Amino acid sequence: MADAPSRRIVVDLSGQAALVTGASRGIGKAIALALGKAGAEVACIARNEQKLNETAAEITSAGGKASVHVCDVADSAGVQATVDAVVAAHGRLDVVVNNAGITKDTLLPVMTDEDWDQVIAANLRSVFLFTRAAAKVMMRQRSGRIINMSSVSGLVGNPGQSNYSASKAGIIGFTQTVARELAKRKVTVNAICPGFIATDMAEALGPAIIDEVKKRIPMQRLGDAEEIADAVLFLASDSASYITGQVVTVDGGMTA
């Protein structure tokens, strides 16, 4: 976005292995690119192989290293196999960003079982599966950063998004609990709650709705995906070694 700040956080993650779900587009792609530019070797996870290849190509063209892993993030066996493959390739796993998510918005009276189950599976079950698999590795190596993407919808709710809001609120409770479980092993677990971010998903709302949304945001603009990536970089860095179980809201003041 033209009115977003141009200065970016600088973090050195050289020699670290990172894994990002939902890396094929939007916020996940921005996070994968940022981690790659910071020196991490990035495992890009999603279902769309073509889009994943595009993300990986951008990372490598910028001088970074990336691998592509097609995975259904709600499939337990597939998730474990993916994490095993990443660890086998790099010998370690330092950063996991659970970003994958979907929406199936509709009001509660007409929401179907499938609308509910699919959103909970993609948004919340995936976080459980990847965190469980990664935690075993990070506990052994006595280090690691797990960063879970929640949403302001998990803090305040949003009409038409009972499934999405429930999944994102669940991520917050899950994050705070797992942070307590893993703290003694020097593994931090934190959540980020983005507000309205300029992505394809937001663009689909149309200019009229976006203009109304901006009026609700004290900073009077949508966020930029790179601003969410900056928050991830900080939480992944050594500077955040004493921060765990926290919820970082990046929303331009909307929930202040």
Q: Can you say how many angstroms the Cα of residue 239 is from the centroid of all Cα atoms in its chain?
A: 19
Phi, psi (degrees; rounded to nearest 5) at 161: -130, 40
- Other CB atoms within 10 A of residue 180 CB: 11
- Residues 6 or more apart whose CB falls under 8 angstroms from that of 66 comprise 32, 36, 41, 42, 43, 44, 55, 56, 59, 60
Print the domain residue range for 75: 17-250
Q: Is the dihedral of CA 109, 193, 37, 127 positive or negative?
A: negative
Reported as a pLDDT band with limits 50, 70 and 90, residue 6 is: low
In the prediction, which pLDDT does 1 show? 45
User: Is 8 domain-assigned?
Assistant: no
Q: Is the pLDDT of residue 5 over 70?
A: no
Reported as a pLDDT band with limits 50, 70 and 90, residue 204 is: confident
Which candidate in 164, 189, 197, 224 is catalytic?
A: 164
Query: Between 208 and 61, whose confidence is greater?
Result: 61
User: Is 144 domain-assigned?
Assistant: yes
User: Is 237 domain-assigned?
Assistant: yes
C-alpha–C-alpha distance, residues 248 and 154, integer Å: 12
Reported as a pLDDT band with limits 50, 70 and 90, residue 8 is: confident
In the prediction, which pLDDT does 202 show? 78
Long-range contacts of 87-92 (CB under 8 A, 24+ apart): 87/17, 87/137, 89/17, 89/43, 90/17, 90/41, 91/17, 92/16, 92/17, 92/137, 92/141
Each residue's pLDDT tens digit, 133-191: 999 999 999 999 999 999 999 999 889 999 999 999 999 999 999 999 999 999 999 99
C-alpha–C-alpha distance, residues 210 and 49, integer Å: 30
C-alpha–C-alpha distance, residues 34 and 22, integer Å: 14
CATH number of the domain residue 229 falls in: 3.40.50.720
User: Is 9 domain-assigned?
Assistant: no
C-alpha–C-alpha distance, residues 195 and 79, integer Å: 28
* Domains: count for the chain: 1
SS3 of 67, please? strand
Reported as a pLDDT band with limits 50, 70 and 90, residue 2 is: very low
In the prediction, which pLDDT does 91 show? 96
User: Is 86 domain-assigned?
Assistant: yes
- Other CB atoms within 10 A of residue 177 CB: 12
In the prediction, which pLDDT does 203 show? 78
User: Is 190 domain-assigned?
Assistant: yes
In the prediction, which pLDDT does 194 show? 97
C-alpha–C-alpha distance, residues 160 and 9, integer Å: 35
Each residue's pLDDT tens digit, 54-91: 999 999 999 999 999 999 999 999 999 999 999 999 99
pTM of the model: 0.95
**Residue 193 is inside which H or E element, if any?**
strand 187-194
User: Is 5 domain-assigned?
Assistant: no
Q: State yes or no: is 242 an active-site residue.
A: no
- Residues 6 or more apart whose CB falls under 8 angstroms from that of 234 comprise 9, 11, 240
User: Is 256 domain-assigned?
Assistant: no
